[in-house]
Amino acid sequence: MRLKNRKIIVTAAAQGIGKAVALAFAREGAEVLATDVNSEKIQDLDNINQNLSTSVLDATNKESVEKFCETINEVDILFHAVGFVHHGTILECDSEEFYNSININIYSAYLMSKNLLPKMLKKNKGNIIIVSSAASNVKGAPNRFIYGTTKAALNGFVKAMAADYVKQGIRCNAILPGTVETPSWEGRVAMADDPIQARKDFINRQAMGRLAQPEEIASLAVYLASDESDFVTGTLNLIDGGWTL
Ligand X SMILES: NC(=O)c1ccc[n+]([C@@H]2O[C@H](COP(=O)([O-])OP(=O)(O)OC[C@H]3O[C@@H](n4cnc5c(N)ncnc54)[C@H](O)[C@@H]3O)[C@@H](O)[C@H]2O)c1
Residue 44 has what DSSP assignment? G
Give the whole-angstrom CA distance, residue 115 versus residue 178.
29
Cβ 118 to ligand X shortest distance, Å: 21
Q: Which is nearer to ligand X, 5 or 39 (CB)?
A: 39
In degrees, rounded to 5, the angle at the alpha carbon of residue 79 between the alpha carbons of residues 126 and 223 is: 75
Contacts 24+ apart (CB under 8 A), 97-103: 97/146, 98/146, 101/146, 101/147, 101/149, 101/150, 102/146, 102/150, 103/60
Dihedral Cα 119, 121, 125, 126, nearest 10 deg: 60
Cβ 164 to ligand X shortest distance, Å: 23
Q: Which of 38, 100, 213, 235 binds ligand X (CB under 6 A)?
A: 38
Position 81 contacts ligand X (CB under 6 A): yes
Give the whole-angstrom CA distance, residue 54 versus residue 31.
11
Which listed residue (99, 107, 110, 147) is catalytic?
A: 147
Position 12 contacts ligand X (CB under 6 A): yes
Position 185 contacts ligand X (CB under 6 A): yes
Residues 204-223 that bind ligand X (CB under 6 A): none
- What is the per-residue binding string for ligand X in 88-107, x denoting contact by CB under 6 A? ----------------x---
Instruction: Label residue 38 left, alpha or beta by phi (over 0 means left) and psi (-120 to 50 means alpha).
Output: beta
Cβ 65 to ligand X shortest distance, Å: 9
Cβ 12 to ligand X shortest distance, Å: 3
Q: Is residue 165 annotated as a catalytic residue, yes or no?
A: no
Q: Which residue type occupies 87? A: H
225 contacts 30 by C-beta, under 8 angstroms: yes
148 contacts 210 by C-beta, under 8 angstroms: no
Position 14 contacts ligand X (CB under 6 A): yes
Position 36 contacts ligand X (CB under 6 A): yes
Q: Where along the sequence are the contacts to ligand X (CB under 6 A)? A: 11-12, 14-18, 36-38, 41, 57-60, 81-83, 85, 104, 108, 131, 133, 177, 179-180, 182-185
Active site residues: 147
